[in-house]
A = this chain, B = another copy of it.
Amino acid sequence: MHIRNAWYVAAMSNEVADKPLGRTICNHNLVLYRGKGDKIAAIEDFCPHRGAAMSLGYVEDGELVCGYHGLRMGPDGNTLSMPKQRTDRFPCTKSFPVEEKYGFIWVWPGDKAVAAETPVPTFHWAESDDWAYGGGHYHIKCDYRLMIDNLMDLTHETYVHSTSIGQKEIDETPVKTRMEGDQVITERYMSDIKAPPFWQMAMGFQGLDKDADVDRWQICRFNTPSHIMIDVGVALAGNGGFEAPAEKRAGSVVVDFITPETDENMHYFWGMARNFQAQDAELTDKIREGQGGIFAEDLEVLEAQQRNLSRYPDRDLLKLDIDAGGVQARRLIDRAIKAEQESA
């Protein structure tokens, strides 16, 4: 169950270069490729001739060519030509609204008319040269909503990520969940603590004393269909925390684009945006590598959780205060799905 009328991240821009990419998004098997002028296109991955996978073909002169018998397709799913064939009555393959923005390829699995009126969401960190971004892609065998739960309750850092960003004080500090417009926010503020290893590293990069007492913040912001941006960071204690001046803090935005692949599996596009040393590409790589290792720790946990839930689909889970972020996020999703169904 997922929202149909929404922009989902389907790929990172650099995943689609010369060759077409086959990828399943929201139960649709797609081929993504760059057509004329490198403009991205998203079509069902099914050749109307004999059902071959177009993603095994290639792009020539901006046209997607089937690798089986040479049918050529345009970005709207219409056959452009096929050797020695009249193609004007060939059935049109389903195409999907697609945009490229911020280094991601965004696909809209629902109604085209609604897509045309709906811009891809904007993110401040992606629009300024003061910020740098690095990230990656994981494929996880679980319902995408388990990842939403995961990210809206960072208590798990203490346990799953105990050697990097976890620390006991997370557990000991209550969270607050609230709605702000159409955004679910779960926030936690820790005062006068020591920074955990990952943040000590970041403080080092900032020229701050790693061993100093800090105030730490985690502000998780969920928007439909399933994006979570998390303000995280530390500031030297007593300087206002999240509001501290730049030279006394090390902070960033954890970027999480969560996209259903099928009803059972998901794509996770994770990353980190930072507004310090933004020009340092080496640092971007180093952080990406560290974050990639940390976020991989969630995979085993989530996949085992999914197996348990699939085996016992009728069990009631607990909904504690720390779960409020996930609960609220699911409520927004359910409401949007219901609205789509009623209008259909």
Contacts and interface: CB of A to CB of B under 8 A. Distances in A.
Contacts of A85: 320-322
Contact of A156 (B45, B68, B307, B318): B68
A318 B53 contact: no
A49 B318 contact: yes
Interface string A315-331: 11110111100000000
Given A70-B158, A156-B68, A315-B51, A46 B308 contact: yes
A179 interface: no
Contact of A56 (B155, B304, B311): B304
Contact of A159 (B29, B46, B50, B70): B70
Interface in A295-344: 300-301, 304-305, 307-309, 311-312, 315-318, 320-323
A160 B159 CA distance: 48
A69 B46 CA distance: 43
Interface string A84-125: 110000110000000000000000000000000000000000
Contacts of A69: 153, 155-156, 159, 322
A305 B83 CA distance: 20
A66 interface: yes
Nearest to A83: B171
Interface in A272-314: 300-301, 304-305, 307-309, 311-312
A57 interface: yes
Interface string A224-258: 00000000000000000000000000000000000
Given A48-B318, A49-B317, A50-B149, A171 B312 contact: no
A159 B317 contact: no
Q: Give the oligomeric copy count.
A: 3
Given A68-B159, A318-B50, A84 B172 contact: yes
Contacts of A91: 316
A134 interface: no
A304 B149 contact: no
A48, A156, A174: residue with the most chain B Cβ atoms closer than 10 Å: A156
8 contacts: A48-B317, A51-B308, A56-B304, A69-B322, A84-B171, A84-B172, A84-B321, A85-B320
A52 interface: yes
